[in-house]
Amino acid sequence: MGRTPLQLRTALAVMAIVFSAASAPAGATAAATTVPVATTTLPTRSRSVAMAKPVAVGAAAVRAFYGYNTLTDTSTWDAVLRSSAYYTPVYAALTRSVHPQQANDPQWDTWAAHRAVIAVQVKRVYDGTPPPSTPTRTYLEFEATLSPHGDHHWTGAKLVHFVWMSLVRANTAKGTPWLVARMETQ
């Protein structure tokens, strides 16, 4: 029996906690070479994202993570892989190394039947008390509202997800990019 997209995202979050080495900034450790990487084409980042701003990077990662397109994607996993463009090299390799079994997902099947593209609105939220940030690590929380729109003016029910993430950067030099080191969803 396959896993649902929620189970797959939860498994990724658990793996991220277990493999805390994934939170190391790029270049900080050679551990990235020990994690297998899928042989597919790696995703690219949007040129419009200000990589030196953690909120912009986090919001872009969330938008990519939930930006499903049933016209081009084979499952929600394609969007997860696209979001890895905003991850640290180690976390991205860890994410891509998970090869989920194709799940029987009724939500995806409904969207695909309507040839839906999911619009994602992301807003920063402050729910709880995150750990203190440092100049090279920050913790952010987002709310993602998913709005499916399909053929013949079809509109599906909106879904809301919450995302918690830590972002890191290699140093404090101006322009140093922030990258997602860990992400958990609900």
Q: What is the pTM of this model?
A: 0.77
> What is the pLDDT at residue 119?
96
List the structure tokens of 3.
Answer: 């896993």
Helices (H), the chain: 5-18, 54-66, 77-83, 89-97, 106-113
Would you tell me the crossing angle of helices 89-97 and 5-18 to the nearest 10 degrees? Answer: 130
Separation of alpha carbons 124 and 85, rounded Å: 20
Give the chain's mean pLDDT: 80
Percentage of residues of the chain with pLDDT beyond 90: 60
For the stretch 84-138, pLDDT in tens is: 999 999 999 999 888 776 666 889 999 999 999 999 999 999 987 888 999 999 9
pLDDT band at 46 (very low <50, low <70, confident <90, very high): confident
Q: Does domain 5-39+50-185 have CATH number 3.10.450?
A: yes
Separation of alpha carbons 80 and 171, rounded Å: 27
| Confidence check: pLDDT of 58 > 50 | yes
> What is the pLDDT at residue 100?
73
List all residues 6 or more positions away from 55 whose beta carbon is below 8 Å from its beta carbon. 124, 140
Q: Which of 164, 179, 167, 176 is nearest to 9 (CA)?
A: 164
Separation of alpha carbons 29 and 43, rounded Å: 22
| Confidence check: pLDDT of 28 > 60 | no
**Size (the chain), residues:** 186
| Confidence check: pLDDT of 21 > 60 | no
| Confidence check: pLDDT of 7 > 50 | no
